[in-house]
Amino acid sequence: MTNSYAIAVLPGDGIGPEVVGCALEVLDAAEERFGFSTDRSTFAAGANHYLETGELFDAVEAQLRDKQAILFGSMGDPRVTPGILERGFILEMRQRFQQAANVRPVRLYPGVPTPIAELTPERCEMVIVRENTEGAYVGRGSTVHAGTPNAVAMQESLNTHDGIERVVDFAFRLALGRRKKLTLCHKTNILVAAGQLWQQVVAEVGARYPEVEVDYVHVDAMCFHLPLTPERFDVVVTDNLFGDIITDLGAVIQGGLGVATSANLNLDGSAPSMFEAIHGSAPDIAGKGWANPAGAILSLALMLGHLGEGEAARAVEAATVEVLGSLPSLAGADMGASTSELGSRIAAIVREGRA
Amino acid sequence: MTNSYAIAVLPGDGIGPEVVGCALEVLDAAEERFGFSTDRSTFAAGANHYLETGELFDAVEAQLRDKQAILFGSMGDPRVTPGILERGFILEMRQRFQQAANVRPVRLYPGVPTPIAELTPERCEMVIVRENTEGAYVGRGSTVHAGTPNAVAMQESLNTHDGIERVVDFAFRLALGRRKKLTLCHKTNILVAAGQLWQQVVAEVGARYPEVEVDYVHVDAMCFHLPLTPERFDVVVTDNLFGDIITDLGAVIQGGLGVATSANLNLDGSAPSMFEAIHGSAPDIAGKGWANPAGAILSLALMLGHLGEGEAARAVEAATVEVLGSLPSLAGADMGASTSELGSRIAAIVREGRA
Ligand SMILES: CC(C)[C@H](C(=O)O)[C@@H](O)C(=O)O
Ligand SMILES: CC(C)[C@H](C(=O)O)[C@@H](O)C(=O)O
């Protein structure tokens, strides 16, 4: 009997469909080689779909909920007011599906050019785990005297013991299977209420993982350490807003948005997890074949690992890394091959067992 | 009649006294050459002083208030609980003296090694203006059920129209005298209440400066643009927390903490402004002569400009840049000269009019 998985595919806008198309070709190859299958349902979602129908996450929630994983392209279009898709779809999915951990590997692959001078792959191999459902991302606040010179806006960050605990526990477990080092990133000297709760939870949970060494770095100092001494980090755990910021810096270090990938993990099995490249929809280059599909294909690798197809996950990652390392440029007209050519090249390596 | 200025000197802890000592030697040279004088009062403040006396900002507030400027070293020591000096001294000074704008030039000086590949001085010449008195730095929040699994911590960010307006207006004026471009950095798609107020104020104030082009970048995307396309920025204005984070990234780009400097400006003349290198007290290298005094000396240059001694400011900056560009390494044992040697070298260039 072959394993079969029900997955949802959301190509989205801009370059989303192109790079997800590549990921699906690689998925075909992986199924062929490793003998599993997927039952794929594709959903229209994103800016174009919203402009046509007014539909956001609500419209697909029920159909997505019974899937085992979601493969996501990218969303966004200048015609949609900023915030609508972010809050109405992406944050809504993270919340309703309790995708508690946003997991972003920051790994410099061999042969991939990094803008950081003298950085080598051996020195850059970490995972940033971002709390994905609370903190400042609750998006709540209030304004008095709006539109007058007396206006005051209060923005809230809500942090719960359980919300922090589940993601911290996940981060400790991750560290246990790696170099056994966990770093909390926060700004505890200023954000005292939230900071104390984070520190307490890390101390509490850490007591259950005595083998894991615990470190702490302020978010501002992180901007120093991440590019200059990345070897200091194994697993970094941080809150939603700080995670949003430092993972983009992580992507810079590993060679850019084209290479970076992420998982939005539901940790209790109550709803599906979601996997996506971290780049946006890049409407300016959509349709030109200039997008690098590596981020999307690496998100497929994360998805396969999550589904339990570890061998397939490793093969997809290795094939992607091999092709990445051979490119003259990581994106754009001088990438040396088109988006779909790169997808096919990676799929061929997977299919033929060359990785 | 020569101009004379009453200044307060707060050397602080660790390497603070060493680098401030260099700055004062350079100040002597500048006074000699440019014919002004300073009346300097030195105050003990910082971790050591706090451990001995329990005194924080309160204890010096009255004496500092009538000075025309404050030259600040660095504060901090592992023996003091994190947060005590930050909140009890630094933030207290920013608040009580209404130092509304934290101004940080991000400039890659010729000859200074940057960790960013292929970055050149022409491409990196901006000023980041950080709101310095409100936002999440009000440090207010509350926790219910602390110490239990039901704990919830709420952290507030308070933003007022006037608080934002004064710093935004300052940033526009700065842009007017430069390349006439202002970029707001925020996370308006998520932090809606605070984000809308910031956007409104930038639009309102911007109407008074029609020559200045206005741009917007999300704080996460800023982590990309700052290292990769710094030429995009002239003046960046941002809130207190985002400013804390992105200015550290700015310092990385310009070659590290050793080179970075900042002004905490009171904009209404009600209290003195404060000038400091952005590095910390670095207790591990204190007394070794390994600290680079450039940050402190460049903060002296900012102070001189603020006091109206523009020529002296330019000479101090030019002398510092000249010496910086000649160093084999920016800090540590292999800097090629000790802290005090570098101070004397820069002072000599200023005194002899070679810069
Ligand atoms: C699209 C946006 C809501 C999102 C975020 O801010 O979390 C993105 O920046 C990310 O990091 O996944
Ligand atoms: C020392 C600390 C309070 C301070 C801050 O967070 O503002 C520092 O990081 C800075 O950027 O000046």
Sort out which chain A residues have CB atoms less than 8 A from B248's CB and list them. 220-221, 223-224
- When computed from its CA atoms, the radius of gyration of chain B, rounded to whole angstroms, is 20
Find the CB nearest B150 among A161, A194, A223.
A161
Q: Which tokens sit at B233? A: 């920025």
Same domain, B338 and B352: yes
Indicate if ligand 1 lies below 6 Å from the C-beta of A277: no
Given a contact cutoff of 8 angstroms between Cβ atoms, the answer to whether A3 and A309 are in contact is yes
Minimal C-alpha gap between B62 and chain A (Å): 25
- What lies within 8 Å, CB to CB, of B288 at 6+ separation is B333
Indicate if ligand 1 lies below 6 Å from the C-beta of A136: no
Residue finishing a domain among B253, B286, B303: B253
How far apart are alpha carbons A67 and B137 in whole angstroms? 43
Query: Does residue A304 fall inside a structural domain?
Result: yes
Q: Which tokens sit at B75? A: 């504060």
Size of interface A-B (CB pairs under 8 A): 200
Query: Does residue A247 fall inside a structural domain?
Result: yes
Residue A40: what pLDDT? 98
Query: Does residue A107 fall inside a structural domain?
Result: no
CA A90–ligand 1 middle distance (angstroms): 8
- When computed from its CA atoms, the radius of gyration of chain A, rounded to whole angstroms, is 20
Query: Does residue A106 fall inside a structural domain?
Result: no
Same domain, A24 and A73: yes
Top residue of B185, B191, B222 to mutate, by most chain A CBs within 10 Å, is: B191
Same domain, B249 and B139: yes
How far apart are alpha carbons A159 and B4 in whole angstroms? 52
Same domain, A226 and A346: no
CB contact under 8 A, B162 and A149: yes
Residue B277: what pLDDT? 95
Indicate if ligand 1 lies below 6 Å from the C-beta of A86: yes
Digit-by-digit pLDDT tens for chain A (355 residues) are 689 999 999 999 999 999 999 999 999 999 999 999 999 999 999 999 999 999 999 999 999 999 999 999 999 999 999 999 999 999 999 999 999 999 999 999 999 999 999 999 999 999 999 999 999 999 999 999 999 999 999 999 999 999 999 999 999 999 999 999 999 999 999 999 999 999 999 999 999 999 999 999 999 999 999 999 999 999 999 999 999 999 999 999 999 888 999 999 999 999 999 999 999 999 999 999 999 999 999 999 999 999 999 999 999 999 999 999 999 888 888 999 999 999 999 999 999 998 7
Residue B257: what pLDDT? 82
Same domain, A82 and A18: yes
Indicate if ligand 1 lies below 6 Å from the C-beta of A244: yes
Sort out which chain B residues have CB atoms less than 8 A from A188's CB and list them. 82-83
CB contact under 8 A, A192 and B244: no
CA A268–ligand 2 middle distance (angstroms): 38
CA B244–ligand 2 middle distance (angstroms): 6
Indicate if ligand 2 lies below 6 Å from the C-beta of B213: no
Q: Is A323 exposed, middle or buried (0-12, 13-18, 19+ CB in 10 A)?
A: buried
Minimal C-alpha gap between B73 and chain A (Å): 18
Residue B332: what pLDDT? 86
**DSSP letter (8 states) at residue A111:** T
Q: Which ligand is nearest to the CA of B241?
A: 2
Beta strands in chain B (DSSP E): 4-12, 37-42, 69-74, 101-107, 125-131, 141-144, 152-160, 181-186, 213-218, 235-238, 261-265, 273-277
Residue A300: what pLDDT? 98
- C-alpha A350, offset from chain centre: 23
Query: Does residue A20 fall inside a structural domain?
Result: yes
Sort out which chain B residues have CB atoms less than 8 A from A148's CB and list them. 161
Same domain, B267 and B143: no
Residue B1: what pLDDT? 66
Same domain, A164 and A85: no
Residue A332: what pLDDT? 86
**DSSP letter (8 states) at residue B135:** B
Query: Does residue B355 fall inside a structural domain?
Result: yes
Residue B256: what pLDDT? 85
As for how many domains chain A has, the answer is 2
Same domain, B63 and B120: no
CB contact under 8 A, A155 and B151: no
Q: Which ligand is nearest to the CA of A246?
A: 1
Sort out which chain B residues have CB atoms less than 8 A from A193's CB and list them. 140-143, 153-155
As a dihedral over the C-alpha atoms of residue B329, residue B330, residue B336, residue B338, rounded to 10 degrees, the angle is -160
Same domain, B237 and B347: no
- The full DSSP string for B148-203 is STT-EEEEEEEEEHHHHHHHHHHHHHHHHTTTSEEEEEE-TTTSHHHHHHHHHHHH
Q: Which tokens sit at A332? A: 């754009």
Task: Give B184's strand partners.
Answer: B216, B237
Q: Which residue has the tokens 């909140």?
A: B87
Q: Which residues of chain B have pLDDT under 70?
A: 1
CB contact under 8 A, A245 and B148: no
Q: Which tokens sit at B278? A: 């952005």
Minimal C-alpha gap between B79 and chain A (Å): 15
Residue B11: what pLDDT? 98
CB contact under 8 A, B83 and A148: no
pTM (whole model) above 0.95:
yes
Sort out which chain A residues have CB atoms less than 8 A from B187's CB and list them. 241, 244
Domain containing A171 equals: 115-253
Q: Which tokens sit at A265? A: 């993990």
Same domain, B222 and B322: no
Indicate if ligand 2 lies below 6 Å from the C-beta of B90: yes
Same domain, A24 and A61: yes
Query: Scanning every residue of chain B, which has its alpha carbon at the shortest distance from the alpha carbon of A84?
Result: B189
Query: Scanning every residue of chain A, which has its alpha carbon at the shortest distance from the alpha carbon of B84?
Result: A189
Query: Scanning every residue of chain B, which has its alpha carbon at the shortest distance from the alpha carbon of A223?
Result: B249
Minimal C-alpha gap between A173 and chain B (Å): 20
CB contact under 8 A, B161 and A143: no
Residue finishing a domain among B221, B253, B285: B253
CATH of the domain at A225: 3.40.718.10
Query: Does residue B109 fall inside a structural domain?
Result: no
Query: Does residue A110 fall inside a structural domain?
Result: no
Residue finishing a domain among B213, B236, B253: B253
Same domain, B150 and B128: yes
Find the CB nearest B189 among A82, A165, A187.
A82
What type of residue is B128? I
CB contact under 8 A, A153 and B194: yes
Residue A1: what pLDDT? 66
